[in-house]
A and B are shown apart, each in its own frame.
Chain A
Amino acid sequence: MTIAAKGTGRPGPAGLLRYRLDLKASPYLYIAPFFVLFAVFGLFPLAFTAWVSAHEWSLLSDERVFVGFGNYATLLNDPYFWNALGNTISILLLATVPQLLAALLLAHVLTLRLRAQTFWRMGMLLPNVASVVAVAVIFSQLFGRDFGLINWVLESVGAGRIDWQAGSATSHIAIAVMVAWKWTGYNALIYLAAMQAVPREVYEAAHLDGASRLQQLFHVTVPMIRPTIVFTVIVSTIYGLQIFAEPQLFGGGGQNGVTGGASRQFQTLTLYLYEHGFNRGFEFGYASAVAWTMFAVIVLVALLNYLFVRRIRSAS
């Protein structure tokens, strides 16, 4: 009865207003929670960090002196910062390039007809499920100098031991392996999803033209899934430039974990930030300047990568 009454009665002016308000405002209200949360936990900290970075601001003292771009100037003149930037980019390249190529190949293999397909596909994701800390701890043991499995294998094939932590290149490789181990399967699954959206006819046509499996991969699949590749490259770049737990735990805790080895041979940008912000002096002002500089570096590198990967189509 009530329903019938509501349905037949013409809405009054108040009802009309409510109806129009609902129509106009509701969509915004539905998406508002995201933007409110983003403003509180994303935008505000970002802006506040910028504000802090313009100050001599330590957790240990209540005095905060405005220094403008002073922290940035100190930062750019610190050789340890450039060292950390170099290390980060080296680890990024060592981790990301082989990782994405391997992911591409793995995804290609997964599109073939396999027994227990779901098993293989889920298996890809397992390393990604393991916590970063667990992965870093286990790989640090594997790369151990005296009792590590990898050195044991190297020695038994007569290649001699390697002090993975001591050298620049060796420590970068060890850390890159940890990153690649965790993310290769994840990227492979993303590629796999994209590959399955490629129409079969294209492959049939390529097949009729006599293209081999590998030729199909590089000349059909890769150009067809280009947007996905751009996405993975950018996401891996962002992750790779922020590597922290792997080198920190690889350093073995204590001072070496903060400086990334005695010679800072594997100190990444995030570790450099940590060294200044959450160590001895708790210099939040300086650490915030590092954070903003990192942000700029990440945007720059991601942009370069985007321009680079965009060339894929024209190349084929």
Chain B
Amino acid sequence: MNTSRPIRAAALAAALVTAAGLTACSGGEDDGKITLSVGLFGDFGFGPLYEEYTKLHPDIEFEERISEFADHHTNLTTHLATGSGAADIEAVEVGYISQYTAQPDRFHDLLDLGADELEGQWLDWKWQQALSADGESLIGLGTDVGGMAMCYRRDLFEAAGLPVERDEVSALWAESWADYVAVGEQYTADTGGYFFESSGNMFRAMVEQAEEGVYDREDNLIVESNPAIGEAWDLTVQAIEAGMSNRLTAWTPEWNAGFNEGTFATIICPAWMTSYIETNAPDAAGLWDIATVPGGAGNMGGSHLVLPAQGEHAEEAYAFIEWLTAPEQQLKVFEATGNFPSTPELYEDPALTGLTKPYFNEAPVGEIFTAAAQAVRPQYQGPLQGDVLATIGQGLGRIEDGSQSPEEAWSQVLSDLESF
């Protein structure tokens, strides 16, 4: 009796551990229901759509995991490499998509699951971006695109004696980025305030508009040789030296607060940015407005939804993302958040083109972003696009905080990029 007690306890403990292990393994399938996990960075506005889909398909439920932008992609890469931990459905931002299309075997091929019949649904370049390097498989379906506009503070423009109406504001820099910088120099000299929030953002916008960005089509880094990058760098440095930058880092608390406090007068606005402004600056309703961006059209940001191959519910997950990225649902997301659809069919739809946002002084966001999206000339995105731009952004940051001269910063950027 005395000796058997510990043995029994041990057996019980072992049984418990096994039981716990079993329940952990079976997560995702209880009483015939399937729970699809969805890994996102930030809120994509999918909440009401999960509910709608569960109503249509009562045996599908959702679990959303939201992480920070940079962490999200690092974690996804780790989970893919180790073969476990990824969600059934993962969002990938355009700056990172090429990194994943280079390893298509780590994802379910959506062409096998039914996407082969849908090609015409998306903007052509949005579709292309998710194709594997050999063009044989497709890893993701497009959600939104980030056609660019320029958001500005009406109250600050008025105080600086600048025009306030959006057409007149657009006309200020209709010609080029140099005009934008000239207006900014004037603004900063007259008011002492900042004209934009971060120089890295302005630099990125100019690069996205160029014919070629930081990579050529053979995935060679062309940061040093591409004249468009040199011009963008020089103009950005000019803006920094004129004191136009608020020197904020995107997604930090200070950056968030800046929208509400009105510490800067303009910010480059891809469609998805409008929802960030609305959330971060609830008190500034009616003060922000939207004009066109200088330098022509360009795309900044936007995402795809991918299905990692380690996910077990490929068909169910595919059925969901096909439904979720269909024009109808993309329109709902746009209405709720401002993330602009990647399906051109909608660009003719008055429900989209006629949409205005009260927060932005009734700006016709449908019209503005439709024009922006239609004019985009697709730019090739290389494998480490996001990291390259972040490294250049840090170079600009070193000029901003005065720790380096523009020449020193540029040569450090180039030497840092050598290790890529």
Contacts of B82 in A (CB 8 A): 59
Chain A interface main SS type: loop
Contact between A146 and B401 (Cβ–Cβ < 8 Å)?
no
Contacts of A140 in B (CB 8 A): 253
Number of interface residues of A (CB under 8 A): 25
Contacts of B68 in A (CB 8 A): 253-254
Contact between A263 and B401 (Cβ–Cβ < 8 Å)?
yes
Contact between A255 and B403 (Cβ–Cβ < 8 Å)?
no
Contacts of B390 in A (CB 8 A): 254-255
Known: A144-B253, A144-B254, A278-B74; 10 extra A-B contacts, CB below 8 A, are A59-B81, A147-B253, A252-B249, A253-B69, A259-B394, A262-B397, A262-B400, A265-B403, A278-B78, A282-B81
What 0/1 pattern do residues 254 to 292 of A give for CB contact below 8 A with B? 111111001101000000000000111010000000000
B40 CB to nearest A CB, Å: 16
Distance between Cα atoms of A145 and B252 in the complex (Å): 11
Distance between Cα atoms of A252 and B257 in the complex (Å): 14
Distance between Cα atoms of A265 and B401 in the complex (Å): 12
Decide if B71 is an interface residue (CB 8 Å cutoff). Answer: yes
Distance between Cα atoms of A255 and B69 in the complex (Å): 11
Contact between A262 and B401 (Cβ–Cβ < 8 Å)?
yes
What 0/1 pattern do residues 388 to 407 of B give for CB contact below 8 A with A? 00110111011011111000
- What residue in chain B is nearest A166 (Cβ atoms)? B401
Contact between B403 and A263 (Cβ–Cβ < 8 Å)?
yes
- What residue in chain B is nearest A263 (Cβ atoms)? B403
Contact between B77 and A255 (Cβ–Cβ < 8 Å)?
no
Contacts of B397 in A (CB 8 A): 256, 262
- What residue in chain B is nearest A251 (Cβ atoms)? B249
Contact between A263 and B398 (Cβ–Cβ < 8 Å)?
yes
Q: State the 6 A-B residue pairs at the shortest beta-carbon distance, nearest first.
A: A262-B397, A166-B401, A255-B390, A252-B252, A262-B394, A59-B81
Distance between Cα atoms of A147 and B263 in the complex (Å): 11
Contact between B393 and A253 (Cβ–Cβ < 8 Å)?
no
Number of interface residues of B (CB under 8 A): 34
Contact between B74 and A255 (Cβ–Cβ < 8 Å)?
no
Q: A147-B254, A147-B257, A282-B77 are in contact. Are A253 and B403 (CB under 8 A)?
A: no
Q: A60-B77, A263-B401 are in contact. Are A256 and B251 (CB under 8 A)?
A: no
Contacts of A258 in B (CB 8 A): 70
Contacts of A255 in B (CB 8 A): 70, 387, 390-391, 393-394
Contact between A253 and B252 (Cβ–Cβ < 8 Å)?
yes
Contact between B70 and A254 (Cβ–Cβ < 8 Å)?
yes
What 0/1 pattern do residues 143 to 158 of A give for CB contact below 8 A with B? 0111100000000000
- From 130 to 166 in chain A, residues with beta carbon under 8 angstroms from any chain B beta carbon are 140-141, 144-147, 163, 166
Q: A60-B77, A255-B390, A256-B249 are in contact. Are A163 and B401 (CB under 8 A)?
A: yes
Contact between A166 and B403 (Cβ–Cβ < 8 Å)?
yes
What 0/1 pattern do residues 260 to 281 of B give for CB contact below 8 A with A? 0101000000000000000000
A36 CB to nearest B CB, Å: 16
Decide if B258 is an interface residue (CB 8 Å cutoff). Answer: yes
Distance between Cα atoms of A258 and B397 in the complex (Å): 15
A37 CB to nearest B CB, Å: 16
B102 CB to nearest A CB, Å: 10
Distance between Cα atoms of A59 and B184 in the complex (Å): 46
Distance between Cα atoms of A263 and B398 in the complex (Å): 6
Decide if B384 is an interface residue (CB 8 Å cutoff). Answer: yes
Distance between Cα atoms of A282 and B99 in the complex (Å): 13
- What residue in chain A is nearest B258 (Cβ atoms)? A146
A146, A253, A259: the one contacting B257 at CB < 8 Å is A146
A31 CB to nearest B CB, Å: 18
Contact between B78 and A59 (Cβ–Cβ < 8 Å)?
yes
Contacts of A253 in B (CB 8 A): 68-71, 251-252
Distance between Cα atoms of A280 and B257 in the complex (Å): 30
Contact between A254 and B254 (Cβ–Cβ < 8 Å)?
no
Decide if B12 is an interface residue (CB 8 Å cutoff). Answer: no
B365 CB to nearest A CB, Å: 27
Distance between Cα atoms of A279 and B384 in the complex (Å): 11
Contact between B81 and A254 (Cβ–Cβ < 8 Å)?
no
- What residue in chain B is nearest A255 (Cβ atoms)? B390
